Amino acid sequence: MNIVVIGTGYVGLVSGTCFAEFGFNVTCVDKIAEKITKLQQGIVPIYEPALDDMVKRNIKAGRLSFSCDLKDALKNSDVVFIAVGTPTKKDDGCADLQYVYASAKEIALSLDDRYRLIVVKSTVPVGTGRKVAQIIKVNNEKANFDMASNPEFLREGSAIEDFMHPDRVVIGTDTEKAQKIMAKLYEPLSKDNVPLLFTEIETSELIKYTANAFLAMKITFINEISDLCEKCGANIRDVAKGIGLDSRIGSKFLQAGPGYGGSCFPKDTLALIQIGKEYSSPIRSIETVVSINEKRKKDMAYRIIDALGGSVEGKDIAVLGVTFKPNTDDMREAPALDILPILTKAGAKLKAYDPKGMDEAAKLLKDIEWTASSSEALKDADALVILTEWEEFYKITPTDLKKLMKGKTIIDLRNVMDLKAMKDEGFTYSCIGC
């Protein structure tokens, strides 16, 4: 089976590469020529563990190729995935579907009358699949195709693992023929007992938003409980453990922190709110989640200022981690983008280190000195702020901190350090929910 994937962002590139790994022939198409030239040489433009090797291996095996020419790629295609971006529209929070619709038109203008299955993998509002089908029909009355919806649930930093070992695969289709093709595509997973959930297209589209909004709500809930813990003397780690052991709740996504970020939760919660409004069925719980999360990220800056006695004017602050989570170089909606400008405006002198995110962060954050290592950032600092829980930060000991830092104030927004060890060593240690 020949697959074309339109869009080489996270979703398109990871999905295309994993389908090639399953043994299918995959062509990934993108309009950005520079990106395609690099990918043809096996150079992956994003940091994602194990993706580089998998791309190179599949190019070498002749199963994975990259092109800017959609018309040419479509010639031998059987299945076409649309995996282009659906960013938030600035004016109303809706998902911007211009790239999805432009892809639909381009597909239509390139198709002959041989049957194709067109699959929307981008996260799109309910009804988009039907609209895509309509665009294709209007632009090419001979087009012979079925539509499907197949949302992704990949997390950055573990995207390959998530694709290869998902909890489930959600597939929305209208016809038996489309179902059979999708079942064939995911056979390597269903053979491993991964459930394939077949639904209507609208249901599949809504499952994606509902899942992400629910997870964002779970995080926001535990974040609020962590605030309560700090006031009443309870410990958030144990509260999370205590509720997570209840299988109805589950232990995942209960890590309290500075607020969720990334390319999906902020965008998808806003889009779900808009979908609710459009259908006069408001999702008030998620409206609240969004406003709590927005406020929380900024509040973290004032927590840091408070921990330093009410002023950061002239203080040297080491910042460890700036990406929205570890194992990615992605800065989209990272709490650092809210927190650090407030600190610099208040007169703090920031030295920051992140294992992968500094190039991207330097474009978005001004007046920060970027360092080549955590030790360099920590040298002579009055305070340490931890914003992202990178593995290497867990190895930093109180002795290291004592040796390097001038001051003894630690604000750990990811609960990386050990509370007791920090207190025993005489640090003023502030963490989340304890």
| Residues known to be catalytic | 264
- Give contact residues for ligand UDX (rule: CB under 6 A): 152-156, 212, 215, 219, 253-255, 257, 260-265, 324-325
CB of 325 to ligand UDX, least distance (A): 4
Both structure tokens of 44: 């992956």
Residue closer to ligand UDX by CB (options 407, 433) is: 433
Q: Classify 258 as helix, strand or coil.
A: coil
Both structure tokens of 257: 């922190």
Q: How far apart are CA 189 and CA 195, in angstroms?
A: 8
Q: How far apart are CA 180 and CA 189, in angstroms?
A: 14
Query: Which amino acid appears at position 133 of this protein?
Result: A
Residue nearest to ligand UDX (CB): 264
Contact of 36 with 30, CB cutoff 8 Å: yes
Residues in the chain, overall count: 434
CB of 333 to ligand UDX, least distance (A): 8
Name 345's Cβ contacts closer than 8 Å, sequence gap at least 6.
none
CB of 231 to ligand UDX, least distance (A): 20
Q: How far apart are CA 293 and CA 303, in angstroms?
A: 15
Residue closer to ligand UDX by CB (options 125, 261) is: 261
Contact of 413 with 258, CB cutoff 8 Å: yes
Residue closer to ligand UDX by CB (options 77, 255) is: 255
Residue closer to ligand UDX by CB (options 150, 212) is: 212
Q: How far apart are CA 76 and CA 100, in angstroms?
A: 21
Contact of 5 with 36, CB cutoff 8 Å: no
CB of 72 to ligand UDX, least distance (A): 30
Residue closer to ligand UDX by CB (options 167, 176) is: 167
CB of 158 to ligand UDX, least distance (A): 8
The DSSP line for 79-104 is EEEE----PBPTTT--B--HHHHHHH
